[in-house]
Amino acid sequence: MIPDRALPPVTAVILAGGEARRMGGNDKGLIELAGRPMIEYVLESLRPQVSALLINANRNLDLYMRYGIPVVTDTLQGFHGPLAGMYSAMRAARTPLIATVPCDSPFVPPDLVRRLGRALLDTGSEIAVAHNGERVQPVFSLLDSSLADGLERFLERGGRKIDQWFAEQRTTVVDFGDAPDTFINVNTPEEVTQVEAKLREREAARG
């Protein structure tokens, strides 16, 4: 096994560029959970895991900039899904690798990047993507930034399906079935209440 210290520097990218239609168009990263914007939970978990941070957003840029982290907008006009955010982040990042996480998943584990990185190095892959024990979770990924040119061509051809693009690269799947809370996200107002309850349970368990 290649030691963790062999992993090149990583920039974590919080993907907050979607339209959030099921949330009535509200910017999900800024929706409050237990009194804090959702993105703060993600930032708090990722900060110790990486060398740098970026936020990918297409609106409310001034609010995201308050966190003192570079905010990158999609270089393509309109909302083109997570691949557009990944592409924009690859162009903006100054590290060999980027790790992507959605803005609406507040339970990012403290070893997410390490586990993805270990798999990437062990297999010689270009992409390591998380699997929750049932299906691939493509927005929880570690990607080689040098893939930007190929991704640009894919997007210019009209490609939008993240699974299709991943299948065209050297991709390894990493089992996170032991950490199912990682992939809990918030898509509806009802889920806000459910996730808040889980957050309070965690806080109570910590004492």
pLDDT of amino acid 78: 56
d(CA 107, CA 120): 22
pLDDT of amino acid 19: 56
pLDDT of amino acid 120: 97
Q: Which class would CATH give 4-206?
A: alpha beta
DSSP letter at 67?
Answer: T
| pLDDT, one tens digit for every residue, the chain (207 residues) | 344 458 999 999 999 976 555 444 678 899 999 889 999 999 999 999 999 999 999 999 999 999 999 999 998 765 568 999 999 999 999 999 999 999 999 999 999 999 999 999 999 999 999 999 999 999 999 999 999 999 999 998 989 899 999 999 999 999 999 999 999 988 888 888 888 888 888 777 776
Taking the complete model, does pTM exceed 0.85, yes or no? yes
Please report the DSSP string for 124-185 in residue order.
T-SEEEEE-SSSEEEEEEEEEGGGHHHHHHHHHTT---HHHHHHTS-EEEEE-TT-GGGG--
Instruction: Using alpha carbons, select from 16, 91, 84 the residue that is nearest to residue 55.
Output: 16
d(CA 126, CA 5): 18
Whether 75 contacts 87, CB under 8 Å: yes
Residue 18 phi, psi (nearest 5):
-80, 175
C-alpha 74: how far from its chain's center?
15
pLDDT of amino acid 25: 60
pLDDT of amino acid 207: 63
